Structure 1
């Protein structure tokens, strides 16, 4: 399934077909000029297991890379992905 990921205040989200309801999101807080903290990832139960959370994380990583900032993982999903795939995320991981 292809989803349009939209930038929202302090994060990225996917909306339902009407455009009114978020069906997935990843949120961050800016804690320093060069660091954001990934605080929350959520995917509607209907979409779980389809790689939606990883697509949101990929978009957050692209955003941080474009802005030349790093990501501190606080959200359990992001912590797990950073730990499972250091070769993919260490370049952007504020804790490395």
Structure 2
């Protein structure tokens, strides 16, 4: 089972497997209420397992809990925001 670790000091969410990074999502803080997802990477050996979606879901939940809106700049996050209407509440208009 994969667990998402949020590392606010490093502005990233990370999934590890046996201590190695399997997937990472990074963001930039534009303001206390606005975060920009700028990069999502899933290592080749872990592709197709839904790790990118796990990272994004954790970011959306964090945004909801903290009153943050998100600008999804990276192609992965942008595509998911376009397809998953449940995330619209945290999308910066």
Structure 1-normalised TM-score? 0.89
What is the alpha-carbon distance in structure 2 between the residues aligned to residue 7 and residue 62 of structure 1? 11
Q: Is the 8 A contact 1:11 1:60 kept in 2?
A: no
Instruction: Note the C-alpha offset of 1:32.
Output: 1.2
Decide which of 85, 89, 92 is 1:91's aligned counterpart: 89
C-alpha RMSD of matched pairs (Å)? 1.0
Q: Is the 8 A contact 2:15 2:51 kept in 1?
A: no
What is the alpha-carbon distance in structure 1 between the residues aligned to residue 4 and residue 83 of structure 2? 24
Structure 2-normalised TM-score? 0.92
- Kindly provide the CA deviation profile for residues 27-72 of structure 1, in whole angstroms up to 9, marking residues without a partner as x: 1110012100001000011111111100000000011111111101
Q: Is the 8 A contact 2:2 2:17 kept in 1?
A: no
Aligned residues: 91
Q: Which has the higher helix share?
A: 2
Q: Which residue is 2:4 aligned to? A: 5
Instruction: Note the C-alpha offset of 1:84.
Output: 1.3
Q: Which has the higher strand share?
A: 2
Instruction: Note the C-alpha offset of 1:16.
Output: 2.4
Unmatched segments (≥5 aa) in structure 1: none
